[in-house]
A and B are shown apart, each in its own frame.
Chain A
């Protein structure tokens, strides 16, 4: 559990533009590769907090068909506007959430995210008939494929396809997706141990006793293995159609469908058309409602353009949804307009933004506490546009979408959002360093510059000697990922990779992972936390795991290794003749349940 994705939230021109995810390698995993793709992040209405829960489903939950949406209708074409094309549709290459969302209409995996009518999200078997079974605490996992799951050519999905799909991930041609499972299935560096499917060699840790059964023999116990399989990067591909390695680039644009839709045409950076896959059986699918007959994706529409089109709501735009998020310039007026808000889609994204305190430089805990106490979080909140701008004020590291999320407020940040300068002064007096120097790094776009002003004002008032350093936003994570970066405090953002707290707490706070370019930006190393992480990883009960991760969250925050910032929120509009809801896992507009209303 060493590689994770992170959001590069570049605060641009008063708003937040999430420009994709980069993966930093550590502890013997794949080298870091950056994949840039404009993703989304934005707002909800003030005060409204849909606290959807994400948790493990039961085998019953894994049975199709998907739960009906009241008032839904079949047929028609739903249009989707997005700022950029989907960079990958080959499951192996998918990491970022906008790719994953589109992929869900076309590709299926063993596991997937099923959204309930109350907004909660269950991790259920998708191609798999149940959520996987393990008898030895998470080392050996058995999955049984459902009956009647087929590719778009009518051939059944077999266990051989599953084994092949995972073997394929080891080939160097697959280099953009997640790398956890590959590592779990072999000893040593997975890129070196096994050359991948196209080498002709097989991976003996995946067994296929019959055409419907797959057994994974992991090298160590991973009780959350089934949760990890819900990542789109672990989608299944047909062996028959992916044997030719040289055709991968074509497959990446036009995969062979196992889901309800197949790609009819996909013109790069311009458009993509989907139509029904006749061999998809709704009775096998607990996740996808697949109401429309067709989908038309239009690319190259910026957030501001899509917002203006959806506000105007004319012609084809009435059946259009957007996955851009609102253009930041329009947020306040949309939020203020009751009529428009009836067509809004809003909720939490999986991201938490926070300020890292570099514990290798700020060693005195009292000084770190003073930083948190003095932090002008509400001023920053207002500056960035309030709840609908950056997000809701946070007091934990795990976002409300992570299982086990529990609200606690160790430092009284929620009760005292303007910052408590007196308390900070007192803490500094106790610390023995009444005027410590704090080097604050911030991005080169306008908003971080203004945030820095607020920080400077607050820290100076509390008695800190403030030193601001402006860093190029484009190379932000390269700069702050260095061990001797010379910064004391800087902003960062993180989202869980799958529905388990391990994907937040371990990569950010496991002291044994500290290395050049690692994601433990706080360089936080506490033996108690390290062993708590190990203990939590051993737990098999999802409830107990969630609780354990939340406890570690609190443990870390008590040691003032970070300043919690915001739970990022999403806000977008839909056309008046299309219905769509929030996707509470991806934190964006839900494509799986959308339908044309008239």
Chain B
């Protein structure tokens, strides 16, 4: 008699099975994976394509006002996505390296935001009392802060503090500043949500039981509470990353992002708005790429949430 081995499934396995059933979610995560592959493999793509993002290959093709030949924006076998108006750099390379820059910053910032949110949210929720009060007030104050204004104000200050007046501000410093400020102004939302999760969990029986049996707070947090927080954390992170890509995009335009020598996805999009009347492709490509990325990422996030926590989302 053949026996079907009855194996229990872990919650992770159950979620994975649920996720795999969601066709949209799977497709979107493949798209997102493609973006990360492009970002990671940008130098390889550049080598295969035969151009880099810096050189002004198409400068000679621009007209007297700095526009590439209409209506395709200079698209050709040589310049796949056309030529950048004004400077004449290759749009395809700008886009590939721009995605790399934006995703790197957004990824680092998301990790930072989640780390801070988790630490402070759990501390506030679990310790309670005075600690909770002060952390919550700090969150309130920071949420009231106009984030972009703060960025504009902070970047020159950091530059002045760290850079010798005889030297240019290195882009690595700008990069670091951006990440730090994005994290400093972005962790509050997740901290708040996690705090409330922990608050409700703290009074539950399994935590009480652990306490009664003499478990240390460290054990309670890491072994009892944290495993129950992974779903909200992942859901939060999948929402924050595309939002940060957008924020980073806006900063480039305001002049506090990376310099124009560093390809930047967001800045391309913003410049495209300026040129679109006569050079629509220059707006189209970065715009389309960004729309696809953000939609895919959000749908993937939805699918992840549905898989991890089927009760809270739509029925599947």
* B-binding residues in A (CB < 8 A): 13-14, 46, 328-333, 335-336, 379, 382-389, 437, 439, 444-446, 449-450, 452-454, 456-457, 467-470, 472, 486
Contact = CB atoms under 8 A, between A and B. Distances in A.
Chain B contact patch, size range: 20 to 34
B87 A450 contact: yes
20 contacts: A13-B274, A330-B277, A333-B277, A336-B278, A382-B59, A382-B64, A383-B86, A386-B63, A389-B65, A446-B253, A449-B255, A450-B86, A450-B87, A453-B261, A467-B166, A469-B169, A470-B255, A472-B156, A486-B165, A486-B166
B128 interface: no
Interface in B269-311: 271, 274-275, 277-278
B66 A386 contact: yes
Contact of A445 (B64, B255, B277): B255
A229 to B, nearest CB: 40
A472 B274 CA distance: 22
Contacts of A14: 86, 271, 274-275
Given A330-B277, A379-B59, A446-B255, A386 B167 contact: no
A333 B169 CA distance: 37
A384 B66 contact: yes
A554 to B, nearest CB: 28
B168 A332 contact: no
A450 B167 contact: no
Contacts of B63: 386
Contacts of B255: 444-446, 449, 470
Contacts of A335: 65
Contact of B65 (A382, A453, A470): A382
Contacts of A379: 56, 59
Of A46, A383, A384, the most chain B CB neighbours within 10 A belong to A383
Contacts of B86: 14, 382-384, 450
Given A329-B274, A472-B156, A446 B260 contact: yes
B156 A332 contact: no
Contacts of B169: 469-470
B65 A388 contact: yes
A470 B165 CA distance: 11
Contacts, number: 82
A335 B259 CA distance: 31
Given A13-B274, A453-B87, A469 B65 contact: no
A436 to B, nearest CB: 13
A209 B255 CA distance: 61
Nearest to B59: A379
A449 B260 contact: yes
Contact of A331 (B59, B65, B259): B65
Contacts of A445: 255
A449 B256 CA distance: 11
Contacts of A439: 166
B61 to A, nearest CB: 11
B115 interface: no
B87 A454 contact: yes
A486 B278 CA distance: 40
Given A331-B65, A467-B167, A468-B259, 14 more contacts: A46-B64, A333-B278, A336-B278, A379-B56, A383-B86, A383-B87, A386-B64, A389-B65, A444-B256, A446-B271, A450-B86, A453-B261, A470-B169, A486-B165
Nearest to A449: B260
B233 interface: no
Nearest to B70: A336
A332 B65 contact: yes
A331 B274 CA distance: 11
Contacts of B166: 437, 439, 467, 486
Contacts of B92: none
Given A14-B86, A330-B277, A450-B260, A382 B168 contact: no
B67 interface: yes
A304 B168 CA distance: 35
B139 interface: no
Contacts of A446: 253, 255, 260, 267, 271
A337 to B, nearest CB: 11
A385 B260 contact: no
Interface in B248-268: 253, 255-256, 259-261, 267
B277 A385 contact: no
A385 B165 contact: no
A385 B62 CA distance: 11
Contacts of A389: 65-66
A383 B253 contact: no
B3 to A, nearest CB: 70
B64 A387 contact: yes
A437 B164 CA distance: 14
A421 B59 CA distance: 17
Contacts of B256: 444
A469 B87 contact: no
A469 B274 CA distance: 25
Contact of B66 (A13, A336, A382, A470): A382
Q: Across the A-B interface, give the 10 residue pairs with the lowest CB-CB distance, nearest first.
A: A386-B65, A382-B66, A383-B86, A386-B64, A444-B255, A449-B260, A468-B168, A332-B65, A450-B260, A467-B168
B217 to A, nearest CB: 48
Contact of A453 (B62, B67, B260): B260
Contacts of B59: 379, 382
Nearest to B267: A446
A465 to B, nearest CB: 11
A335 B65 CA distance: 10
B11 to A, nearest CB: 49
A383 B271 contact: no
B94 to A, nearest CB: 13
A43 to B, nearest CB: 9
A338 B275 CA distance: 20
Contacts of A388: 65
A384 B67 CA distance: 10
A437 B166 CA distance: 9
Contacts of B271: 14, 446
A151 to B, nearest CB: 49
B67 A332 contact: yes
A331 B75 CA distance: 23
Nearest to A14: B274
A16 to B, nearest CB: 13
B71 to A, nearest CB: 12
A366 B167 CA distance: 23
B277 A383 contact: no
A467 B166 CA distance: 7
A294 to B, nearest CB: 35
B168 to A, nearest CB: 5
Of B166, B168, B275, the most chain A CB neighbours within 10 A belong to B168
A442 to B, nearest CB: 10
Contacts of A330: 277
Contacts of A454: 87
B57 to A, nearest CB: 13
A60 B245 CA distance: 68
A467 B165 CA distance: 10
Interface in B127-185: 156, 159, 165-169
Nearest to B256: A444
A382 B62 contact: yes
A383 B260 contact: no
Nearest to B277: A333
B253 A385 contact: no
Contacts of A332: 65, 67, 277-278
Contacts of A457: 56
